[in-house]
Amino acid sequence: MTLLHVAAEEGAVKIIRFLLNSLKGHKIFLKFLVEATTYYSYDYRSYYSYDYKSSTALHLAAAGGYFDVVQCLVEHGADVNVKSIDGKTVLHWAARGNLDFVQWLVEHGADVNVKSNDGKTVLHWAARGNLYVVQWLVEHGADVNAKSNDGKTVLHWAAGGNLDVVQWLVEHGADVNVISIDGETVLHWAAGGNLDIVQWLVEHGADVNAKSNDGETVLHWAAGGNLDVVQWLVEHGADVNAKSNDGETVLHRAVQRNKWNVVQCLMEHGADVNVKSIDGETLLHWAVQRNKWNVVQCLVGHGADVNVKNKYGETVLHWAANLGVVQWLVEHGADVNIKRNDGRTVLHLAAQYYKWDVVQWLVEHGADVNVKSTYDETVLHWAAQRDKWNVVQWLVEHGADVNVNSNDGKTVLHWAVWGNLDIVQWLVEHGADFNVKSNDGRTVLHLAAQYYKWDVVQWLVEHGADVNVKSNNDVTVLHLAAQEDKWDVVQWLVEHGADVNVKSNDGKTVLHWAARGSLDVVQWLVEHGADVNATDIDGKTPLNLAEKLKRKKITKYLLTKYSRIRMAS
């Protein structure tokens, strides 16, 4: 950045004249200095914030409104049509309001139809401001229908601001129904603010129901802003139930923007409170999901259906976040037993998200405590899986079936073994069947052994659980205990009738499983009748397995028992 840039930026014309006059005898350097660019960017203290990368001193002076500095620089050879990196000339900056500045620049060769990189002409910039600048530019050749790269005309830009400019442009050939590349009309741009411009455009042929490429009407644009514009458009034929391509209505837009006066107006003029988005969601879904309690009450008060479903089968009750909302919705007709597409009711979801106060209230107000989802899960399963045993007890006391199976065949008791012995005992005392099998053939006894709940294993066997029960792969509890080197458990199980020579479906005995672990368990099993020569389906004995796994002590011990080694063919 040169000293000239700094002076131009600050409007220091005396310093600039001194610098330029000092270089009169050095034309090449003078030309370089005037045309040099600066390579930094920042937000300027002006009407807009722009990027000033590669701006000349001329641009900096124009952006600051320093007309005398611009004149001085041009008089010393600065190119009046030089562009900044974004393609703007000095005339783009001047067109915001200073007619004298504009006239002087054009008289000194500035191009009135020059475009910046985004395709905006000088007239685009002028359209938001001074009518006299607009008039003068058009009278001197500026194209009234020029479009920027996105297809927006000067009239699009004018529609957001000055009625006088809009009127004058239309009277001089601007098309009120011209659309941009994304399908936006001039009325779309006007609808966000100025009622006078909206009225004038409609009176001169603008379509109140025109849609952009994404299906948004003028009323969609207005709904996020001015109530007066919304009322006027509705009174003049705007469709209050028009949908955008994604299924969003004007009412959706107003609710999302928190424009409650607009919401009220739209409903009074027939807006459908039960209209669905492309996902099948109503405004009530939206309001409940975002905890907009005042909106929920307002919508229901205007006829919103509390039991309407979205594409997933969810009603607003499925989305209710707390007990207060649940209670209010149920009191206003929400069905406590309505199911989603996956078969889950509000009761399932309340249990899933630990809303136990909601669970209790729903059951007390008619929710089916034994209702199953598509996966055959009940609320009791959810509570058990999450170790909420106080809830499990409460549900059972209120009619929950302790022996109901989920789709994997597990009952609540299968899940209970994750917890503690007390809950297992309580469930059995309340009718839970500990011999029921899951789909893979495992009983509660298998799971208790698998999860090392040996106190549960002992209690179940003492209360009648079959110690030799097999899973689908013929594994018994003794197999599992031997695999985990639980010597004391192995002893206890055998003493209570466990078969030491039982085989799993791969032909392995308990001794095969024990051969992977400790010598103590192997010795005890052999001393209590385990067959050292038993073979699995591959013909392998426990000795073969111990050798393969390099269990030297176990191998040596089994050899001393003179086991007959059978090698697999």
- Structural domains in the chain? 467-569 (1.25.40.20)
The encoded tokens of residue 55 equal 């701006």
Q: Looking at 47-61, 136-150, 177-191, 478-492, which range is the least confident one?
A: 47-61
pLDDT class for 485, splitting at 50, 70, 90? confident
426 or 14: whose pLDDT is higher?
426
Residue 561, pLDDT > 90, answer no
- CB of 105 closer than 8 Å to CB of 136: no
DSSP string, 394-407: HHHHTT--TT---T
Helix (H) or strand (E) holding 459: helix 454-462
Window from 34-38, 385-389, 484-488, 542-546 with minimum mean pLDDT: 34-38
Q: Is the pLDDT of residue 183 over 90?
A: yes
Provide the 3-class DSSP secondary structure of residue 185. strand
Say what the pLDDT of residue 55 is: 59
Whose tokens are 């840039």? That residue is: 5
| Average pLDDT score over residue span 451-461 | 91
Kindly state the DSSP code that residue 387 receives in the 8-state scheme.
T
What is the pLDDT at residue 45? Answer: 31
- Residue 83 has a pLDDT of 85
pTM: 0.65
Q: Does the pLDDT of residue 564 top 50, yes or no?
A: no
Question: What are 43-70's pLDDT values in tens digits?
Answer: 333 322 333 444 566 777 777 677 777 7
pLDDT, tens digit, 9 for 90 and up, residues 248-270? 899 989 988 888 889 989 999 99
Q: Residue range 445-462: average pLDDT?
A: 90
Question: Integer distance in angstroms from the first to the last C-alpha of the chain?
Answer: 89
Please say if the pLDDT value at position 127 is more than 60: yes
**Displacement of CA 323 from its chain's centroid (Å):** 25
- In 25-162, which residue ranges form alpha helices assigned H by DSSP? 27-35, 57-63, 67-75, 90-94, 99-107, 122-126, 131-139, 154-158
Is the pLDDT at 501 greater than 70? The verdict is: yes
Lowest mean pLDDT among 27-31, 78-82, 229-233, 532-536: 27-31
Q: Is residue 350 within 8 Å of residue 383, measured between CB atoms?
A: no
What CA–CA distance (Å, rounded) separates 83 from 41?
A: 16
For residue 34, pLDDT beyond 50:
no
Nearest CA-CA partner of 127 in 102, 87, 91, 159:
159
Q: Is the pLDDT of residue 40 over 90?
A: no
pLDDT band at 527 (very low <50, low <70, confident <90, very high): very high
- Average pLDDT, whole number, for the chain? 85
Name the pairing type of β-strands 55-56 and 37-38: antiparallel
